[in-house]
Structure 1
């Protein structure tokens, strides 16, 4: 069974969509094997977004992602990484079709409700970054 990592982002939390988003994942047959709420700080955001931390738009990402507590979730299921990304739709919510999570709830490229790992290596690194050993129950 494959695992993936998601963050229910500040816009998801602000709009009260956490339950609806998690419900969509569960309806697909994915198991929630870890979850916790946290407020993201600069250090972990710089690590998580290392690939864009030196870009001029990073301060906007940092301000948004640290604006309120978020929920980290580890999901497990068959082909979960690709299937979650399919459920989410494109990163840019304005291009996401209706029926996808981002198409239904997102507003733009950054306020797109959920971050999800994009591959097995990324998922492993992100799960390790956000969950301590023993916090994932699978």
Structure 2
């Protein structure tokens, strides 16, 4: 097992539905440690960088608009194999396909855009986690 730190973003749907504490509790109950936590409003620039893989797609303005509906909560979470384990806890990106008992299955949007309104973003690899943590946390903000 590898000790890792990953980025979680509580998306605007989680913030608007007051799910942050409930979901954070699931991560902590799974044995992960909070190493950084902050609320922030996402700029056009940070969203273009974070979503650079889709920034040229016609649906990107909808993604940007959604991610700017409310502030988001950035979480640096540490644990053994935390990257893959968090993604298992979350369930698939499409909340409609997520099983009950997963975070997205229990709290994600089942009516609208279940791939976008799916409670949390989580880094998908050690390389992504490293880049994303630097994008959302400054020097001295991860403990």
- Mapped to 2, the partners of 1:123 and 1:116 lie a distance apart of 8
Which of residues 123, 126, 130 is equivalent to 1:120? 126
Which of residues 107, 123, 136 is equivalent to 1:130? 136
Gaps of 5+ in 1: none
> Taking structure 2 as the reference length, what is the TM-score of the superposition?
0.95
> Taking structure 1 as the reference length, what is the TM-score of the superposition?
0.99
Q: CA deviation at 1:41?
A: 1.2
Q: Number of matched residues?
A: 137
Q: CA deviation at 1:133?
A: 1.1
Task: Give the corresponding residue for 1:68.
Answer: 70
Q: CA deviation at 1:38?
A: 0.3
- Mapped to 2, the partners of 1:93 and 1:51 lie a distance apart of 21
Gaps of 5+ in 2: none
| Residue 21 (str. 1) matches residue 27 (str. 2) | no
Q: Deviations over 1:60-97 (max 9, x none)?
A: 00000011111000000000000000000000000000
Q: Deviations over 1:13-67 (max 9, x none)?
A: 0000000000000000000000000011101000000000000000000000011
Deviating beyond 6 angstroms after TM superposition, the runs of 4 or more aligned structure 1 residues are none
For the aligned residues, what is the CA RMSD? 0.4
The 5 Å alignment of 1:45-64 reads: 45-64=47-66
- Mapped to 2, the partners of 1:53 and 1:13 lie a distance apart of 24
